[in-house]
Structure 1
């Protein structure tokens, strides 16, 4: 069994592989590098075989998004290659830096309760700023809205070393997610119904309810392009983010009697957020929010079964951020994590 497997999921991402894979290989510290291809229709697989013979290529039969794709890929590594103690899942549009692995592995080795962690994520294009997907570790407020140290909604902090510590967080980003392999497989991996976006937050919530911890490591850093497979301007991204946020909230919220009032309040707040799209004439995004809510209601029987199953298996309640990040950001004008 390998100590660490570096696993990159790819879908039609040959330009990113050509650009970023050499640095991954150069800084792999002897650990195996896998590329799991989700039935790309470009020349990704032939390009990899011709130019990167050291990479172990896994050809998946179809595109099942981030969640389903990694479930298939990591199970393949476990059964066909003997598995690994840890996995790291860098997106194909991640630029790694020298020494990025050793602080992460040291953190995992020092604390067996840590089942997931992440490095600092900076923007590839604006290199001193934190990047949207994860920044320096994420949190979830009491309505299910997510935010990060270094990035709250559209405010991106400059990295001046303010988050160079190692600390426990609520969720670690899927853009560059380190995890204990045994915990991943024991929990059934990601919820494949999410397809993409927030599946890692859902998984982090679930593993904490089993008594594991999630951390951010300030001594490791990578750069992220963002939107490499699905650009942030694509309405389908809006749909997945709003739908999956509701999926996650319903499945994992404690049995305190306040679930449905929160869902109804989310309906109102999500409707108000559509006014931001209306302001700039982005009608497809407004329709995406409406579709996301109808998709959520249509999946309630399945989600209810999942909720009951999780409650029968998991006993540790997880503390969410006790305030509304929407209120603090838009009304109280608190724009950074340090102000919260």
Structure 2
């Protein structure tokens, strides 16, 4: 199991407790955690589990983002299968790992396997049938990608794919990897019988303008990588026109009610990003 920590030590503690309750024996799996936080809280917390399970902590030199950290964790993993997990997951079934392993063994040619990932409302948020901006990129009526909070992959396949694309600091690296897997002919499989809970947003709970600038930058990076230049330009113009009108509209409404602040921030972030692409070129999207 591969986990990235960024100020999520308490969630990792709960996750490790859940893993110890699994029916799959602890000698059949290991946990590799890349620590993107510059403190010793994770080391202190994990000590209590050292005699109970195999847990390796890799200290990154700085916050290198989600994809780079997962790639680093994969380099230190010893198993044939990699279970990529967010730290804020909670097990709902004691035989989750055992059943997931059985399903992988029954479907050896899989690209990615995911299960139901439940949010606070009990809704499954694991699966998406379109890419960024509603694009299907030729994969109509199919699973296009799985949320990166829970992805099972063969270690060799992960390596051959080059892991996560490190141009993505955070967000959309899961979309990109799943798209590349589909292009390579590897299927995305959903195991509906299993469920896991995802708290969501543990490492970045704020949803202000800064969040949307980071998130939308990754969305536009994905679009630039995988759309034709003509389609990318058309998307820019379409989204810019919509965002320009919405910024004016929600800019007024947000003065009347806090309910509209988030919508204003989303559209303002879109306008800022598109303006930078138009004035500095799309190369700006690749800057960390």
TM-score, normalised via structure 2 length: 0.80
- Compare the two structures and name the one with the higher helix fraction: 2
Please tell me whether residue 32 in structure 1 is matched to residue 14 in structure 2: no
Is the 1:91–1:176 contact (alpha carbons within 8 Å) kept by the matching residues of 2? Answer: yes
RMSD: 3.0
The question of whether the paired residues in 2 share the 8 Å contact of 1:194 and 1:240 is answered with no
Does the Cα contact within 8 Å between 2:132 and 2:219 map onto a contact in 1?
Answer: no
C-alpha spacing 1:38/1:256, structure 2 compared with 1 (3 Å): closer
Q: Given the superposition, is the C-alpha separation of residues 89 and 256 from structure 1 closer, same or farther in structure 2, using an over 3 Å criterion?
A: same
The one-character-per-residue Cα deviations of 1:56-86 (angstroms, maximum 9, x if unpaired) are: 2222222111111111221233xxxxx3221
- Pairwise mapping of residues 184-333 of structure 1 onto structure 2 (< 5 A)? 184-231=158-205, 233-253=207-227, 255=228, 258-271=231-244, 278=251, 279=253, 280-282=260-262, 285-294=266-275, 296=277, 298=280, 300-301=282-283
Q: CA deviation at 1:91?
A: 0.9
Distance across 2 between alignment mates of 1:276 and 1:46: 50
2: CA distance, partners of 1:170 / 1:180:
19
Q: Out of 181-190 and 200-209, give the one that drifted further.
A: 181-190
Contact between 1:239 and 1:288, CA under 8 Å: does it hold in 2? yes
* Cα distance in 2 between the residues matched to 1:243 and 1:180: 29
Give 5+ residue unaligned stretches, structure 1. 1-5, 78-82, 147-166, 305-340
In the superposition, relative to structure 1, how do residues 290 and 303 fare at CA in structure 2: closer, same or farther (>3 Å)? closer
Tell me whether 1:139 sits opposite 2:129 in the alignment.
yes
Query: In the alignment, which residue of structure 1 is the partner of 2:256?
Result: none
Choose the corresponding residue for 2:123, options 120, 123, 130.
130
Compare 287-296 and 191-200 and name the one that shifted more. Answer: 287-296
Q: TM-score, normalised by structure 1?
A: 0.69
**Structure 2: distance between partners of 1:223 and 1:247:** 29
Counterpart-to-counterpart distance in 1, 2:107 and 2:142: 11
Contact 1:251/1:303 (8 A) holds in 2: no
Instruction: After TM superposition, give the deviation of residue 102 of structure 1 in Å.
Output: 3.3
Which residue of structure 2 lines up, in the alignment, with residue 330 of structure 1? none
